[in-house]
Amino acid sequence: MTQVIPGENEPLESTLRRFKREVSRAGIWADMKKNRHFETPIEKRKRKALARRRKKFRRTRRTMAG
């Protein structure tokens, strides 16, 4: 769990900025966005298959170019 303790004379804006930075470092924000909507197992498989195809395409392009 991310926790930010404000300094004695620290303004609220800088405390919020530190909190946002810690949340993004911990990966909480990305995880929250990913889980915003329920994803069915079929949708997960489709998304992962598409990612595999893209990765394979990039890999073959890189080997042909380099």
> What's the domain range around 54?
12-65
Q: 48 lies in a domain? A: yes
19, 2 in Cβ contact below 8 A?
yes
pLDDT at res. 10 = 93
- Which residues fall within 8 angstroms of residue 14, CB to CB, at 6 or more apart? none
Residue 15, pLDDT above cutoff 70: yes
Residue where the block lists tokens 């195809």? 53
- The more confident residue out of 44 and 2 is 44
Q: Cα separation of 64 and 60, whole Å?
A: 6
Q: How many domains does the chain have?
A: 1
Residue 64, pLDDT above cutoff 90: no
- Count CA atoms within 13 Å of residue 31 on its CB side: 6
Residue where the block lists tokens 């997960």? 44
Q: 5 lies in a domain? A: no
pLDDT at res. 66 = 67
